Amino acid sequence: MNINDELDVKIEKISNLGTGIAKVDGFVVFVENACPGDEVKIKITKLTKNYANANVVEVLTPSQHRVEPFCPMQKVCGACQFQLIDYDYQLALKRQIVQDALKTIGGFDINVPKTIPSPEHRAYRHKIQYPVSQTKVSKRLLAGYYRSKSHELVNIKHCPIQPEICDRIVDFIRENASKYGIRGYDEKRHCGELRHVVLRVSAYNKKVLVTLVINAKKVSKGLNDFASSIYKTFEDVEGVCVNFNSKQTNVILSDKTECLCGQDFIQEKILDKIFKIGANTFFQVNPKSAENIFAYVKNEIKNFDAPSVLDAYAGIAAFGIVVSDVSSEVVSVEENSESIKNASEALKQNNIKNVELHAMDTTKYLKSVKRKFDVTILDPPRKGCTKESLDETLKHTKKEIIYVSCNPATLARDLKYLCEKGCKIKSVQPFDMFCHTYHVETVVVLGV
């Protein structure tokens, strides 16, 4: 086998990163844009001693689960790897991804239940982050997503997984930025003003928060006027902010944001609770699917008689606030101070008295206290928890740990560690948060 070889293969299964898996004389080949059951002609694009990567040249015999993507940009955009697979089978594949991770990484032989579907399959994504660039000759502004495994920007005019207002706002920015002297960002030369457009759209009241990420340390008159123009043009825009990010980094948002027009937040509703969502606030991009997860966690906590709850890696304390009315007390711990500020405002708005907030790292907080909680909710970032944080969680939890994860691999690793320390897995439930992608959210309940 060599680079550029063309081979006929059958796709056997899906990898945890959404690529099809084929084998050539026992050698593993990861194939982009493939569905299990496909018989395809592939072209080898990368070769290592352990595996190869390949692209589909031709679909010879399609899988019974292969469908025509509803977005014409699916093959070039890189964002919706599963869009060529029928939705019910996407759910089955996500269940399999979780089950495989638990077995191969954690050593757990668990029959994972069916993935709970998202209530919305299209226009579900309520946060978008479009990188911005500019063509060399015409100086035309481009905004969209990167091609898979590249930094080549695909100009997206219509994205069906986002609310339609996003297309209109981004198109307005593309067409009018230059009138205000605003240039798109050149990543290689680190010049140009507008780096990203970040939109947050409320599923609750349809209002939009626009954030322009700029390669500058202050707001120019042109940018200020442009922000005002966006705000006046779209009645659903609640506010326009600017985020200052002049570092050469892949991080999209810095910690410095200034509101230029309107308000610096939108409101979102989860179950019966209202939250403020700012430019830098971590919040689930699919609010309707998030409601399913919050309801699942709340129902689990209802099994106890008014328990004390630790809400760790809390963000804006969404879990803590949602479960507060079935808990005696909740302690929400989050190191991001802006999130804690938003959580504090949500407590007032929802008239909640039994949630205590701490702007601290979870591990540092637990080391500083002696109190124990009946239930701990862990909702860490993709990298999962450290062994130290898991040890501290075990010390401070009396009955149950509810682990909410967006990464099956780190989830399986952390569950293995917790079970080695004496925990027992009581239930596993995957949820579809990111439709048409390989990403899957999972909630695991462990007895301590």
Q: Tens digit of pLDDT for each residue in 190-245?
A: 999 999 999 999 999 999 999 999 999 999 999 999 999 999 999 999 999 999 99
Burial of 315 (0-12, 13-18, 19+ CB in 10 A): buried
**Residue 372 vs residues 165, 198, 396: alpha-carbon distances, Å:** 46, 40, 4
Q: Which residue has the higher pLDDT, 304 or 250?
A: 304
Identify any residues that bridge with 14 across adjacent strands, giving them in sequence order: 20
Report the predicted TM-score, pTM, of the whole model to 2 decimal places. 0.92
Distance (Å, whole) CA 185 – CA 159: 22
Q: Give the pLDDT mean for 1-17.
A: 95
Distance (Å, whole) CA 129 – CA 107: 37
Which amino acids are annotated catalytic?
406
Alpha-helix runs per DSSP H in 82-184:
87-104, 164-176
Distance (Å, whole) CA 376 – CA 121: 31
**Are the C-beta atoms of 251 and 198 separated by less than 8 Å?**
no
Topology of the domain covering 102-119+286-447: Rossmann fold (3.40.50)
CA atoms within 13 A on the CB side of 81: 22
- Percent above pLDDT 70 for the chain: 100
Q: How confident is the model at residue 433, as a pLDDT?
A: 96
Burial of 350 (0-12, 13-18, 19+ CB in 10 A): middle
- Which residues, 6+ apart, have CB-to-CB distance to 64 below 8 Å? 37
Question: At residue 149, does pLDDT exceed 80?
Answer: no
Distance (Å, whole) CA 243 – CA 420: 44
Question: At residue 304, does pLDDT exceed 90?
Answer: yes
Can you say how many angstroms the Cα of residue 208 is from the centroid of all Cα atoms in its chain?
A: 18
pLDDT in tens, 67-90: 999 999 988 887 899 999 999 999
Check if 6-66 and 127-270 are the same fold. yes
Domain boundaries, the chain: 6-66, 102-119+286-447, 127-270
Question: At residue 261, does pLDDT exceed 90?
Answer: yes
Q: How confident is the model at residue 213, as a pLDDT?
A: 98
CATH of domain 6-66: 2.40.50.140
List the one residue out of 111, 117, 118 whose CA is nearest residue 428: 111
Q: How confident is the model at residue 146, as a pLDDT?
A: 87
Distance (Å, whole) CA 124 – CA 434: 8
Dihedral class, residue 447 (left if φ above 0, else alpha if ψ from -120 to 50, else beta): beta
Q: How confident is the model at residue 147, as a pLDDT?
A: 82
- The number of helix segments (H) and strand segments (E) in the chain equals 10, 22
Q: Give the pLDDT mean for 126-135.
A: 95
Q: How confident is the model at residue 381 (pLDDT cuts 50, 70, 90)?
A: very high
Distance (Å, whole) CA 441 – CA 85: 19
**Mean pLDDT of the chain, nearest integer:** 95
Instruction: Say how many C-beta atoms besides its own lie within 10 A of residue 163's C-beta.
Output: 22
Question: At residue 148, does pLDDT exceed 80?
Answer: no
List the one residue out of 311, 328, 319 whose CA is nearest residue 291: 319
Q: How confident is the model at residue 185 (pLDDT cuts 50, 70, 90)?
A: very high
CATH of domain 127-270: 2.40.50.1070
Structure-token pair, residue 372: 């124990």
pLDDT in tens, 40-64: 999 999 999 999 999 999 999 999 9
Segment holding 345, helix H or strand E: helix 337-349
Q: How confident is the model at residue 445, as a pLDDT?
A: 98
Q: How confident is the model at residue 137, as a pLDDT?
A: 85
**Are the C-beta atoms of 38 and 3 separated by less than 8 Å?**
no
Q: How confident is the model at residue 75, as a pLDDT?
A: 83
Q: How confident is the model at residue 183, as a pLDDT?
A: 95
Q: Give the pLDDT mean for 250-265.
A: 94
Q: How confident is the model at residue 150 (pLDDT cuts 50, 70, 90)?
A: confident
Distance (Å, whole) CA 315 – CA 276: 12
